[in-house]
């Protein structure tokens, strides 16, 4: 009989390239499910897996998908997660791929063993499967402007384009055709993520939170929140109040 330490790991590989899959294959026997969130990051549509030991998030071609990862974190709050990130030095030879571990809310017996095992395989060298797209830095600037100004209810594509600066028509085309996500989607998701942080403080009403994160229409906020999280803002706050008790 296979001992507990040699038991197969159940891993969900999200948007992982062949390089990362090969790295995982050097571990002890495992059952792997490879899925793709894409830049739109519809994690709520992923079928729930009951037996899961680790989630590995591959590199994104554009710095936009990270705002969707919290959906996956909510669905699997108890499962350790490894998020792969680019780390850059002064030259091309200094670039490598590192990892950030996020442990589950409830400790599992094998969590620390899994982390120790994965750490022996990091860092990774960049590979042909994970290139940084041509407009990566531009999109990063877009996310920086949105993150600093999402509370402005009048924030729009024109204001963000002017802050970079770049023509708004060109920025819209890059986001929609190259990245595959609209400016409106990026702004809405950023606001909802910040709303989640404010809701768990239990300091503001749902309507107040909506206004604080830039939603001038509380009904649109409620629809957006449920569409992106799968639950209402009031239920989200009540759930986290129970967990934090």
Q: So where are the chain's domains?
A: 4-119, 136-243
**Domain covering 136-243 in this structure, CATH number:** 1.10.10.60
Q: Distance between CA atoms of 237 and 197, rounded to whole angstroms?
A: 10
pLDDT, tens only, 82-128: 988 877 665 555 578 888 888 876 666 778 888 888 888 888 877 76
Residue 180: its pLDDT value, please? 78
What is the percent of the chain where pLDDT is above 90?
Answer: 30
What strands lie across the sheet with 9-14, from one edge to the other? 30-35, 9-14, 54-57, 81-87, 96-102
Q: What is the pTM (predicted TM-score) of this model? A: 0.68
pLDDT, tens only, 61-92: 666 666 667 777 777 878 888 988 877 665 55
pLDDT, tens only, 162-205: 999 999 999 999 988 877 789 998 999 899 989 999 999 999 99
If you average pLDDT over residues 24-30, what whole number do you get? 72
Please, which pLDDT band fits residue 240 given cuts at 50, 70 and 90?
A: low
Q: Which two tokens stand for residue 219?
A: 């009904």
The CATH topology of domain 4-119 is Rossmann fold (3.40.50)
First-last CA distance in the chain: 42
Cis peptide before 123 (omega within 30 of 0): yes
């Amino acid at each position: 009989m296979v001992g507990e330490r040699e038991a197969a790991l159940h891993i969900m590989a999200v948007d992982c390239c062949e390089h990362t899959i090969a790295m995982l294959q050097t571990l002890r026997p495992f059952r792997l499910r490879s899925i793709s969130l894409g830049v739109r990051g519809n994690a709520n549509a992923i079928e729930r897996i009951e037996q899961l030991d680790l989630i590995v998030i591959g590199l994104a071609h554009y710095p936009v998908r990270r705002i969707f990862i919290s959906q996956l974190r909510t669905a699997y709050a108890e499962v350790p997660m490894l998020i792969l990130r680019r780390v850059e030095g002064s030259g091309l030879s200094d670039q490598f791929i590192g990892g950030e571990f996020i442990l589950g809310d409830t400790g599992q017996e094998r969590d620390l063993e899994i982390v120790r095992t994965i750490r022996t395989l990091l860092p990774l060298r960049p590979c042909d499967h994970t290139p940084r797209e041509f407009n990566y830095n531009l999109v990063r600037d877009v996310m920086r402007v949105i993150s600093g100004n999402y509370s402005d209810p009048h924030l729009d594509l024109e204001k963000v384009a002017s802050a970079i600066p770049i023509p708004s028509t060109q920025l819209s085309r890059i986001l929609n055709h190259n990245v595959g996500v609209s400016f409106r989607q990026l702004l809405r998701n950023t606001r909802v993520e910040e709303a989640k942080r404010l809701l768990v403080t239990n300091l503001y009403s749902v309507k107040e939170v909506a206004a604080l994160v830039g939603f001038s229409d509380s009904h649109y906020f409620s629809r957006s929140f449920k569409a992106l999280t799968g639950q209402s803002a009031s239920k989200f706050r009540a759930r986290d109040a129970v967990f934090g008790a």
